[in-house]
Amino acid sequence: MSLFRAGRPTRWQSLATSLITALLLFLAMPGYFGWWPLLFVALVPLLSAALYLPPLRSGCMGLLAGFIYNLLTLHWLVVVLGKYGGLPPWLSVPAMVLLALYMGIYFALFCLLVSMFGGRSWHKERSVVTLVWIAPVLWVGLDYLRGILFTGFPWLDLGYGLYSQPILIQAADLGGHHLISFGLVLANGLIVSIIDRQRSKVHWNIRTERRLLFAACCFLIFIFGYSMVRYRVMPSLYRPALQAEISVVQGNILQDEKWVPEKKEKTVAIYERLSRRALAGKTTELLVWPETALPFYPQNDPLSRRVADLVRKENVYLLTGAPTYQVDQAGEKPKIEYFNSALLVDPGGVIVSTYAKQHLVPFGEYVPLRKYLPFLAPLVVNVGDFTAGRSSSPLPLGNDLKLGILICFESIFPEIARNEVAAGANILVNLTNDAWYGRTSAPYQSMAMTVFRAVETKRSLVRAANTGISGFIDPTGNIIEKTDIFVPQAITAQLPVFEKQTVFVRSGYMFGAACLAFIPVLLLFRRRHL
């Protein structure tokens, strides 16, 4: 039998397929529901339809599915742009729609290419194996492209949906989260092949097809079997390692109050109070405050002395986010550059090292083509117009700890964490301010993606978020402890300091790029065989 009785889906069936796939993906991904088992079947309707639809119709079906899914997933953008970015609804809502449409283009390309390479619209009978193996290559290749094109926006790739199941995602230390996405799409393709094999007119004696389907099963067993074994073995490797006691403070400073000059002293007082509570009776080595926890420039603000007094009295290192500036005297006129920074303050109250955010948020921390888009300037009024940092070097803390810093949405870019670990980082720290998102699904989605940075690099990860979610993640992706959103809180944990580099750090980070590079090869191969 076929998933579609008449073979090729009708227009209404194509529309239903798009809606079903979009809803299944939305229900499966972290945020409101997180029903992760749906990830193993969510793409089955889309792949089944693409198997029979011609490329153009398949692409339109994919565009609709991607648009609806991303509209549901990225609705928080209206809160970011409207409530906190200062844009009116007639600009913020179309901006969200345009972003959802842009993200849907990748779904469209996926379905179009699946139909071209593995579809039957131009051939009476064709092996389903082509679809099974090519679909995950196309999906991962396009995900990788989305992560680098136009500065990149790899928000909530498919594999991230399994963040709550660390026993299934340890293979990320081989090929990153892209390898987990590859496995999920492959699993969906195998289900399509099982359905397809139930048809009456099937050549069961095609040995190559059966072997390739068996190979796909073996590949899935390897990915998830490796993950299960690795999950059980890893604790015995990192438990004997040095344990670092770290405290995180979540100040819960509302975004519309954060940059009010009259309230910056109150903000510092909140962090002082929560920090003393966190450190009482503890042997904490490092105290961590979130992104821009200090709503002023530490170089010239008297409140910096209070921060220094705190760390001297408590005899602890402090890592905190703060805006900083630098005067460049190289040109004819002095030029001031502003940075979104992380500052490491030693127990003597001295700033001993800094990190400047490398991957800035377009239209949030800087405005591309600002001369030509002056109406978007309100987006950066509250946080300034920042310059990107240039260094991935970890911040040394004493002789044992080397901190790899991820500020805000840098945590969704695996190459940044990978570069820092390759440079020697043995603990990752994510400082963020998710107050922008309000009470939407975005803080949960952001946390889900951060989990994979720990698993890929096998490094403990500390997350300090202004309004949550803050927490601690061990090298296998277990969330040891976390906070609720929009509550002032301080938590402490002991984290293993693991030193060994994973395959992902050494070379596996190229897995997504390899899938993307394979797509032109497939196009060339198809052209020669037409």
* Burial class of residue 382, CB neighbours in 10 A (0-12, 13-18, 19+): middle
Same domain, 426 and 517: no
**pLDDT at residue 6 above 50?**
no
Given 60, 258, 285, 357, the catalytic residue: 357
**pLDDT at residue 394 above 80?**
yes
**pLDDT at residue 286 above 50?**
yes
Six-digit token pair at 323?
A: 């805006």
Q: What is the pLDDT of residue 383?
A: 43
Same domain, 171 and 315: no
Q: What is the mean pLDDT of residues 25-42?
A: 97
Q: What is the mean pLDDT of residues 429-456?
A: 96
Where b means 16+ CB within 10 Å and e means fewer, 179-196 reads: bbbbbbbbbbbbbbbebb
- DSSP-derived letter for residue 285 is S
- Give the count of domains, the chain: 2
Q: Is residue 106 part of a domain?
A: yes
Q: Pick the more confident residue, 101 or 10.
A: 101
Same domain, 49 and 153: yes
Read off the amino acid at residue 331: G
CA distance 351 to 24: 49
Place of tokens 């840098």: 410
Q: What is the pLDDT of residue 19?
A: 97
CA distance 242 to 61: 53
Same domain, 423 and 523: no
Q: What is the pLDDT of residues 321-370, one digit of tens each?
A: 999 998 877 767 778 889 999 999 999 999 999 999 999 887 677 766 55
The CATH number that applies at residue 313 is 3.60.110.10
List of E strands, 206-293: 243-250, 286-288
Q: What is the pLDDT of residue 131?
A: 93
Q: What is the pLDDT of residues 447-503, one digit of tens each?
A: 999 999 999 999 999 999 999 999 999 999 999 999 999 999 999 999 999 999 999
- Half-sphere exposure of 131 toward its Cβ, with a 13 Å CA cutoff? 31
**pLDDT at residue 223 above 70?**
yes
The question of whether 408 is a catalytic residue gets the answer: yes
Six-digit token pair at 378?
A: 């309100």
Q: What is the mean pLDDT of residues 28-52?
A: 96
CB 192 within 8 A of CB 128: yes
Same domain, 262 and 114: no
Six-digit token pair at 241?
A: 């390692």
Q: What is the pLDDT of residues 181-202, one digit of tens each?
A: 999 999 999 999 999 877 766 6
CA distance 199 to 480: 49
CA distance 244 to 241: 10
Q: Is residue 3 part of a domain?
A: no
Query: Which structural domain range is residue 417 located in?
Result: 242-324+340-359+392-499
Q: Is residue 372 part of a domain?
A: no
Alpha-helix residue ranges (DSSP H) falling in 378-510: 414-422, 442-457, 503-506
Supply the mean pLDDT for the chain.
91
Reduced DSSP (H G I as helix, E B as strand, rest coil) percent helix, strand, coil of the chain, to 5:
50, 15, 35
- Half-sphere exposure of 105 toward its Cβ, with a 13 Å CA cutoff? 9
CA distance 453 to 428: 8
Given 209, 291, 314, 420, the catalytic residue: 291
CB 108 within 8 A of CB 58: no
CA distance 202 to 119: 16
Same domain, 103 and 217: yes
Same domain, 198 and 318: no
The question of whether 500 is a catalytic residue gets the answer: no
CA distance 200 to 203: 9
Q: Is residue 231 part of a domain?
A: yes
Q: What is the mean pLDDT of residues 29-33?
A: 95
Coil, strand, or helix at residue 512?
helix
Q: Which of 439, 442, 427, 444 is nearest to 493 (CA)?
A: 427
Same domain, 138 and 43: yes
Angle (CA) 436-163-417 rounded to 5° is: 70
Q: What is the pLDDT of residue 386?
A: 87
Q: Is residue 482 part of a domain?
A: yes
Strands 317-328 and 286-288: parallel
Angle (CA) 140-141-147 rounded to 5° is: 90
Sign of the torsion angle spanned by Cα atoms 201, 204, 210, 216: positive
Q: Pick the more confident residue, 4 or 164.
A: 164
Same domain, 233 and 251: no
**pLDDT at residue 378 above 70?**
no
Q: What is the pLDDT of residue 14?
A: 87
Other CB atoms within a 10 A radius of the CB of residue 296 amount to: 19
Q: Is residue 387 part of a domain?
A: no
Q: Which of 511, 465, 489, 461 is nearest to 166 (CA)?
A: 461
Same domain, 437 and 516: no
Six-digit token pair at 304?
A: 């910096």
Coil, strand, or helix at residue 472?
strand
Provide CB contacts within 8 A for 464, sequence distance 6+.
248, 249, 250, 288, 289, 290, 291, 293, 429, 430, 431, 432, 470
Q: Pick the more confident residue, 374 or 338.
A: 338
Same domain, 191 and 96: yes
Same domain, 209 and 294: no
Given 285, 408, 458, 515, the catalytic residue: 408
Provide CB contacts within 8 A for 363, sequence distance 6+.
85, 376, 379, 380
* Burial class of residue 77, CB neighbours in 10 A (0-12, 13-18, 19+): buried
**pLDDT at residue 528 above 60?**
no
Q: Pick the more confident residue, 360 or 371.
A: 360
Query: What confidence tier does 85 reach under pLDDT thresholds 50, 70, 90?
Result: confident
The question of whether 357 is a catalytic residue gets the answer: yes
Cis-peptide, bond into residue 469, ω within 30° of zero: yes
Provide CB contacts within 8 A for 273, sequence distance 6+.
none
Query: What confidence tier does 21 reach under pLDDT thresholds 50, 70, 90?
Result: very high
CA distance 157 to 136: 13
Q: Is residue 118 part of a domain?
A: yes
Annotate 376-399 with DSSP letters as a single string: GGGGGTTT---------PPEEETT
Q: What is the pLDDT of residue 48?
A: 94
Q: Is residue 170 part of a domain?
A: yes
**pLDDT at residue 203 above 70?**
no
Q: How far is C-alpha 108 from the chain's CA centre?
A: 22
End-to-end CA separation in angstroms for the chain? 29
Q: What is the pLDDT of residue 382?
A: 45
- DSSP-derived letter for residue 361 is P
CA distance 359 to 183: 29
